[in-house]
Structure 1
Amino acid sequence: MQKIPLDLAAPGMKLAKPVTKSDGLVLVGAGVELTTTIISRFRASGVQSLTVQGRPVDLGDDGGNDLERIAGRLDHLFRKHGQDRFMVTLRNMLRRFFAERIAAAKAAEEAEAAAIAAAAEAAREEAEAQAAQNRIPLVPLVDDEPEGVPARPEVANGNGAPRENGR
């Protein structure tokens, strides 16, 4: 999941969270695939940013998420409080908190990728089953006459003339 400015939104991206106006009115729900029309309507409605699935845009943060960046800064933020037991305890609690959140975010991304792969596999299998169901089996035709020889009409007498009206 990545929050991006509207200017970087492109058709084909999927929303991870609903897009709302400043008054809380939901414009588009989560899971909707962006189109040029939707993006232009967001601009007209004053939307500044949106949250999309995955990390489709490189924002120059080396691929890391905000939680990892903040967790990496904890030691710097608490550098002057090494002797204060309360602050050391708080720093350790924050480390555990961010480690759990980072692990949960990674697990959610992996689960999302697995769900997408499973859905693609199910769609492929369904398409194959549908194709197999729509196929007409080829039944070999039995022909009594050799190829290229027309069928002979029944003959009444030995001269080879066809029967006419049952005579």
Structure 2
Amino acid sequence: MKLSAQTKVFALLLSVGLFAGCSSTGETVDGGAYGSDVEPIDQEGGSTVYGGDDEGGVSSSALTEEERMAAQQRAEQDALRDITTFYFDFDTAEIKPEARDVLVAHAQFLSANPGQQVRLVGHADERGTKEYNLALGERRANAVQRFLIVNGASRGQMETVSYGEEKPAVMGSTESAWAQNRRVELVFE
């Protein structure tokens, strides 16, 4: 493959131009090491999301430690509120200790949002008579309602309903199925 002299000269000039364009002199321009349109990173000031002038975005340096902690606590409370089903032991309406923190988060949410309504739906497993299971489901829903009220929710925000054994979460006559059917569900409206 033969290249013409004109093509060789053009390629040589292009190479020299690229080489010259990539070299730097090491001088600083406009007081910055990188040029006027690029600023060095502020290692202690935080960062800005969206926008570059701290006016159109959220700056992490603008948050105090208390605000960061409050934001983290709100995120944790929101995560707890994703849990809306609470389980009970056999033949009891006593709230389990592991459910208390989650119910407190729900009570705080209801307290902060007085227009929010919630239905507390009580259930029982299939053991016992229909009447007994309806009453047990109601006792369970009422226990959750009392707990929410004590922790800041308003009685007017809540409605209790019992389905007893009529709407099982899991079909079956095993201990595992019964355990999943002994519950109160929070249904936010």
Class of the TM-score when normalised by the shorter of the 2 chains: under 0.3
Rg larger for: 1
The higher relative CO (CA closer than 8 Å, separation ≥ 6) is in 2
TM-score (norm 2): 0.21
